[in-house]
Chains A and B, each alone.
Chain A
Amino acid sequence: DGGITQSPKYLFRKEGQNVTLSCEQNLNHDAMYWYRQDPGQGLRLIYYSQIVNDFQKGDIAEGYSVSREKKESFPLTVTSAQKNPTAFYLCASSIGGVAQPQHFGDGTRLSIL
C-alpha cells in the first residue's frame, strides 16, 4: 500500500533539546512538504522540497531544519531555537509542479516536557 508514514505519533521535547520527526513516502513523489498546525488553525508551511538535495524555506522556517538526501525521506528537525514547538506536524508529498493534490501522513504531535 502506497502512502506516507510519519513517526513517532507522539514526541516530547525537553528544554534545549533538538528533536527529529521522520517522514517517509513510497509514492515515488518528487515533492515533499512540512506543515505546522496549531489548535483550531489551518496549516502553515515550514519547508518544502521539489527535488532530492534541494529544499526551500516556507513561511515559518525559523527554528527548524530539514534535509532531502533521498527521494523517499524528508526529516524535520525542531531545534532548541524554536521557542514554541508544541503543535501538530504534518508531512505531505505530491508528484510536483502546479495543480497537483498533496498526500498527507497522519502527523506527529510534539509537546514540551
Chain B
Amino acid sequence: SQQGEEDPQALSIQEGENATMNCSYKTSINNLQWYRQNSGRGLVHLILIRSNEREKHSGRLRVTLDTSKKSSSLLITASRAADTASYFCATDKGQGGKLIFGQGTELSVKP
C-alpha cells in the first residue's frame, strides 16, 4: 500500500540550479521523512518533519509540509553532481515506526 506519490518521477538539471520534488499522501500522518538512495545502495535519512511543523531546513535542504493539502516538498538548493540520486518520501502514521514509502524521484544533476 503506497501512500506517498512523488512528482516528478524524474528530474534533470544543471549544477547550481535548484531541484524541487513533491510528495502527496492520502491519510493523516504523525511525521514525514525524506530519504536519498544512490544507485545500488541503501537509503540515507535526510530530514524528518512532524505534522505540527510547516518548514524545516538542513544545510542546502528545505522541506515544507502542508497537512491541509496532504503534501510535502523537498528543495535542494545550488545542486551538485554528487546530489544525483533517487529521493523518497516516507510517511509515518505513528504505528510503531512503520513507514510507507513513495515511488521516488530520480534526480540527475549534470556538471
Q: Which residues of A approach B to under 8 Å, CB–CB?
A: 4, 6, 31, 33, 35, 40-45, 48, 50, 56, 58-59, 90, 92, 94, 96-107
User: Are B40 and A107 in touch, CB under 8 angstroms?
Assistant: yes
0/1 string, B42-66, CB within 8 A of A gives 1: 1111001010000000000000000
Nearest-Cβ distance from residue B97 to partner chain A, whole angstroms = 5
Q: Known contacts A42-B103, A42-B104, A101-B33; is A96 also within 8 Å of B41 by CB?
A: no
Nearest-Cβ distance from residue A32 to partner chain B, whole angstroms = 10
User: Are A106 and B104 in touch, CB under 8 angstroms?
Assistant: no
Query: Which residue in chain A gives the minimum CB-CB distance to B30?
Result: A98
User: Are A42 and B97 in touch, CB under 8 angstroms?
Assistant: no
Which 5 A-B residue pairs are closest in the complex by CB-CB distance? A104-B42, A101-B45, A42-B101, A43-B101, A42-B103
- The CA-CA distance from A98 to B88 in the complex, in Å, is 19
User: Are B103 and A99 in touch, CB under 8 angstroms?
Assistant: no
Known A-B contacts: A42-B88, A45-B100, A48-B98. Give 8 more (CB < 8 A).
A33-B97, A35-B101, A42-B102, A43-B88, A98-B96, A98-B97, A102-B45, A105-B42
